[in-house]
């Protein structure tokens, strides 16, 4: 396969709640690379679908929305048609819809080139689920984070409590397992480590330990001094 990368790319894949976002932001700061939060693109698409009352079975309508998706990333904010939807796209409802629309092959194709366009000098850290397998198969470094559903649910509950939102951990565990099942078994771009990815189980690691391990991998690849 010919290289599609015009600059160094670091991919950070894995399911929700494993620390991908925090690690990706840390590596972005360390390398001074650009950051692609591909999950935010799918959540923005899901937000738009919910807002427009689109049926998740209406593939042509979803593809049309994907092709003209009015999403922008400004600093740490996500804008949809000029509106700051950073908090709105991270609700459980939107996350569930995002997982469903992300399983549609036509939608993934519609968003593929848009994601690849984020690869610009001096480099890119790409956070997602199929960054190392599909979007950037020639990435210099591929990381895949994982953790048990129970640990991820505990992290999500803690996060919600910090936001003043009550949560049912049993329901969250069930939602996580259902989403993992759907993401791992979809026909297009299933959630799995790339053959050449370094897998890091974060179940018993704090985020500082995860960042240190990833930083050493980048040093070994001469992407950090």
pLDDT at 4 over 80: no
Residue 8 belongs to some domain of the structure: no
- Residues contacting residue 121 through CB under 8 Å, at least 6 positions apart: 6, 7
Residue 1 belongs to some domain of the structure: no
Strand 83-84 versus strand 198-201 pairing type: unpaired
pLDDT at 1 over 60: no
Residue 224 belongs to some domain of the structure: no
Position 3 scores a pLDDT of 46
For residue 2, what pLDDT band results from cuts at 50, 70 and 90? very low
Residue 13 belongs to some domain of the structure: no
Residue 115 is encoded by which pair of tokens?
């994601």
Residue 9 belongs to some domain of the structure: no
Instruction: Assess whether the previous peptide bond of 96 is cis (omega < 30° from 0).
Output: no
pLDDT, tens digit (0-9, with 9 covering 90-100), for 15-52: 989 999 999 999 999 999 999 999 899 999 999 999 99
Looking at residues 159-174, what average pLDDT do you find? Answer: 89
For residue 93, what pLDDT band results from cuts at 50, 70 and 90? confident
- Residues contacting residue 169 through CB under 8 Å, at least 6 positions apart: 153, 154, 157
Residue 12 belongs to some domain of the structure: no
Structural domain of residue 114, as residue ranges? 18-211
Residue 11 belongs to some domain of the structure: no
pLDDT at 91 over 70: yes
Looking at residues 124-147, what average pLDDT do you find? Answer: 96
For residue 73, what pLDDT band results from cuts at 50, 70 and 90? confident
CB 72 within 8 A of CB 118: no
Question: Is the C-alpha dihedral spanning 42, 136, 187, 178 positive or negative?
Answer: negative
Q: How many domains does the chain have?
A: 1
> Could you tell me the CATH number of the domain that includes residue 22?
3.40.50.300
pLDDT at 117 over 70: yes
- Residue 42's nearest CA partner among 4, 6, 74, 78 is 78
C-alpha to C-alpha distance for 138 and 133, rounded to whole angstroms: 9
- Please provide the average confidence, as pLDDT, over all residues in the chain: 91
Q: Write a three-state SS string for 185-197.
A: HCCCCCCCCCCCC
What is the pTM for the complete model shown? 0.84
C-alpha to C-alpha distance for 225 and 217, rounded to whole angstroms: 11
Higher per-residue confidence, 199 vs 187:
199
Describe the crossing of helices 169-185 and 149-162 by its angle, rounded to 10 degrees: 120
Residue 152 belongs to some domain of the structure: yes
pLDDT at 76 over 90: no
């Amino acid at each position: 396969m010919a290289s599609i990368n015009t600059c160094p790319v670091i991919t950070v894949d894995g399911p929700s709640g494993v620390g991908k976002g925090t690690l990706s932001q840390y590596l972005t700061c360390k390398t001074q690379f650009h950051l692609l939060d591909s999950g935010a693109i799918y959540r923005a698409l899901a937000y738009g679908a919910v807002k427009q009352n689109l049926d998740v079975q209406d593939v042509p309508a979803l593809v049309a929305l994907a092709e003209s998706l009015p999403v922008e990333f400004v600093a740490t904010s996500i804008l949809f048609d000029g509106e700051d939807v950073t908090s709105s796209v991270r609700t459980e409802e939107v996350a569930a819809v995002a997982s469903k629309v992300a399983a549609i092959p036509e939608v993934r194709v519609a968003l593929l080139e848009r994601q690849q366009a984020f690869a610009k000098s001096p480099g890119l850290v790409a956070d997602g689920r199929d960054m190392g397998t599909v979007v950037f198969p020639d990435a210099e470094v591929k990381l895949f984070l994982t953790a048990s559903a129970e640990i991820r649910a505990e992290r999500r509950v803690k996060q919600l409590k910090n936001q003043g939102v009550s949560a049912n951990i049993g329901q969250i565990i069930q939602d996580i397992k259902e989403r993992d099942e759907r993401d791992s078994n979809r026909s297009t771009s299933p959630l799995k480590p790339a053959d050449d990815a370094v897998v890091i189980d974060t179940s018993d690691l704090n985020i500082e330990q995860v960042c240190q391990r990833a930083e050493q991998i980048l040093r070994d690849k001469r992407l950090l001094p």
